[in-house]
């Protein structure tokens, strides 16, 4: 019974996500878990048409894409220090997002659009230093592990 309810919730969830959304991500000196220099969301799931808004809640951060670490056809973006910036999603696939001064400390995020992880190898070849790339690798694993299995699960339960 519980499983059926969960499957129903997942179906409703995916139906809702077909409308364009604005996803807000904060740039933080510290999150609730105590991690320093982080984006409030690190695995950002989105759909084509969504807007991801990076908000300078704390000072001395920016948000930007990385050369060659985004889907073909997707426009790069580069927020200035302490400035809000919006990333309008036009393509499916993975995009790496960094804070330029803190990427080496792991201040990065991964945008996953349409559960499409087909450009993962391209992301892993991009130039992201230190802990930034370690976290990107972990986020890609997380994105793969939690991707389209939902459909199979609901089919089994019904």
What is the DSSP track for 89-121? Answer: --S-EEEEEE-GGGGGGT-EEEEEETT--TTHH
- 120 is a contact residue toward Cu ion (CB under 5 A): no
Site string for Cu ion, 11-50 (x = CB under 5 A): ----------------------------------------
By CB under 5 A, name the one of 66, 107, 108, 112 that touches Cu ion. Answer: 107
Q: How far does the chain reach from its first CA to its final CA, in angstroms?
A: 11
Is 61 one of the annotated binding-site residues?
A: yes
Q: Detail the DSSP E strand segments found in the chain.
A: 22-30, 36-39, 43-46, 51-55, 64-65, 85-88, 93-98, 108-113
- Tell me the site size for Cu ion, rule CB under 5 A: 4
Residue facing Cu ion at closest CB distance: 99
Phi then psi for residue 74, to 5 deg, are -80, 130
Is 102 one of the annotated binding-site residues?
A: yes
Instruction: Identify which of residues 98 and 143 has a Cβ nearer to Cu ion in the complex.
Output: 98
Instruction: Identify which of residues 70 and 99 has a Cβ nearer to Cu ion in the complex.
Output: 99
Under 8 Å CB-to-CB from 33, ≥6 apart: which residues?
A: none
**Could you give the 3-state DSSP secondary structure of residue 60?**
coil
Instruction: Identify which of residues 102 and 135 has a Cβ nearer to Cu ion in the complex.
Output: 102
- 102 is a contact residue toward Cu ion (CB under 5 A): yes
Which residues are part of a known binding site? 61, 99, 102, 107
Binding residues (CB under 5 A) for Cu ion: these are 61, 99, 102, 107
């Amino acid at each position: 019974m519980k499983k059926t309810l969960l499957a129903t919730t997942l179906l409703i969830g995916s139906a809702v996500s077909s409308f364009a959304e604005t996803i807000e991500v904060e740039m933080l000196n510290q999150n609730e878990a105590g991690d320093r220099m982080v984006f409030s969301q690190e695995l950002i799931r989105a759909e084509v048409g969504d807007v991801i808004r990076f908000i300078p809640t704390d000072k001395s951060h920016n948000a930007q894409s990385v050369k060659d670490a985004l889907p073909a056809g997707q426009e790069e973006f580069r927020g200035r220090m302490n400035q809000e910036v919006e990333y309008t999603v036009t393509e499916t696939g993975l995009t790496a997002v960094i804070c330029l001064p803190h990427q080496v400390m792991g201040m990065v995020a991964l945008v996953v659009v349409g559960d499409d992880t087909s450009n993962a190898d391209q992301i892993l070849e991009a130039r992201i230093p230190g802990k930034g790339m370690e976290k990107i690798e972990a986020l890609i694993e997380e994105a793969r592990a939690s991707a389209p299995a939902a459909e199979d699960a609901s089919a089994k339960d019904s």
